[in-house]
């Protein structure tokens, strides 16, 4: 699809408002008032296979050994995805929340295939980034872009609002400490995810703050804090649930340990210029968090 992009700074009507920023600070998650239009989601889906072709080492598999669970990285080699990471509705918003210039720390698509997409146990993303990559502080966030409609049926993400402000250990709390080897697949796996949030803590936090399920139409944009406690159930439905995730990190918060592969921890830490989306690829979103 041809799009006329112009390089610019903030386009005010697409920017986050003060109340958006307050909501993110308080709850640790925010639904954007804008979403991507179906024709743009179609364009992203058309390019999706290119994130895996010839890049099998970057693809995580489900435990059945047959179904792809997630594609990692590849955005820097693909113009469509590279441009996506720069769009103001994502990058500008991330920079507003982080109050700093940002770069792409991680880029992935979780595929949650029909019938086969497995669960994600309760965890905080920052546990991985702190322990594995030496990310100094939690000044990072993730933008989720829904490539399929997400409903109560196809494995929506569950969040505990406000849990990003709880004092939780960043360490490994899964009952899997002694199991070598800790490969990168254990950072994206289902039952054996390396860093999980203690179930007693999840129970306590959920009793105070409740849970929300992130549901919405294709093109929905959702931001969540690197420390918010989240999970998702298996997808037993006949509908796939593909979500594209872009993690933005502050340029002053670069990781100190680069031992994981570049497709998990992007080595290109240069700041990005914001690109304004063509008006036809953006439309107002309606509320969906329950």
Ligand X SMILES: O=C(O)CCC(=O)C(=O)O
What residue ranges in the chain does DSSP mark as E strands? 6-7, 29-31, 34-36, 59-61, 68-72, 102-110, 120-123, 140-146, 157-159, 212-214, 221-225, 230-232, 243-250, 275-276, 282-284
Distance of closest approach, residue 111 Cβ to ligand X, in angstroms? 9
Binding ligand X (rule: CB under 6 A), the pick from 102, 230, 274, 281 is 230
Q: Which CB atom, from 184 or from 245, has the smaller least distance to ligand X?
A: 245
Q: Which CB atom, from 157 or from 246, has the smaller least distance to ligand X?
A: 157
Q: Is 110 one of the binding residues for ligand X (CB under 6 A)? A: yes
Binding ligand X (rule: CB under 6 A), the pick from 127, 138, 232, 240 is 232
Distance of closest approach, residue 30 Cβ to ligand X, in angstroms? 17
23 φ, ψ to 5°? -60, -45
Q: Which CB atom, from 120 or from 274, has the smaller least distance to ligand X?
A: 120
Q: Is 243 one of the binding residues for ligand X (CB under 6 A)? A: yes
Q: Which CB atom, from 232 or from 266, has the smaller least distance to ligand X?
A: 232
Q: Which of 186, 36, 33, 41 is nearest to 123 (CA)?
A: 186
Q: 242 and 147 in contact (C-beta within 8 Å)?
A: yes
Q: Is 125 one of the binding residues for ligand X (CB under 6 A)? A: yes
Q: Which of 78, 21, 69 is nearest to 51 (CA)?
A: 78
Q: Which residues of the chain form contacts with ligand X (CB under 6 A)?
A: 110, 120, 125, 157, 230, 232, 243, 245
């Amino acid at each position: 699809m041809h799009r006329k992009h112009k390089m610019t700074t903030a386009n005010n009507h697409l920017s986050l408002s003060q109340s958006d920023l307050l909501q993110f600070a308080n709850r640790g998650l925010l639904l954007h008032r804008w979403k991507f239009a179906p024709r743009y989601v179609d364009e992203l889906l058309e390019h999706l296979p290119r994130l895996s072709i010839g890049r099998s080492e970057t693809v995580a598999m489900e435990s059945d050994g047959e179904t792809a669970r997630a594609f990692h990285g590849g955005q820097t080699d693909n113009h469509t995805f590279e441009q996506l990471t720069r769009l103001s509705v994502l990058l500008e918003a991330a920079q507003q929340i982080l109050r700093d210039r940002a770069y792409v720390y991680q880029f992935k698509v979780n595929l949650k295939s029909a019938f086969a997409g497995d669960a994600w146990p309760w965890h905080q993303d920052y546990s991985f980034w702190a322990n594995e990559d030496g990310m100094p502080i939690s000044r990072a966030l993730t933008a989720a872009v829904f490539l399929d409609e997400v409903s109560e049926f196809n494995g929506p993400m569950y969040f505990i609002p406000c849990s990003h402000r709880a004092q939780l250990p960043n360490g490994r709390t899964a009952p899997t400490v002694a199991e070598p080897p800790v490969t990168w697949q254990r950072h994206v796996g289902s039952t054996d995810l390396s860093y999980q949030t203690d179930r007693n803590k999840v129970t306590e936090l959920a009793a105070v703050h409740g849970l929300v399920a992130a549901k919405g139409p294709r093109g929905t944009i959702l931001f969540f804090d690197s420390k918010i406690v989240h999970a998702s159930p298996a997808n037993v439905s006949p509908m796939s649930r593909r979500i594209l995730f872009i993690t933005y990190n502050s340029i002053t918060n670069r990781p100190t340990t680069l031992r994981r592969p570049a497709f998990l921890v992007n080595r290109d830490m240069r700041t990005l210029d914001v690109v304004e989306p063509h008006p036809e690829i953006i439309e107002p979103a309606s509320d969906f968090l329950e």
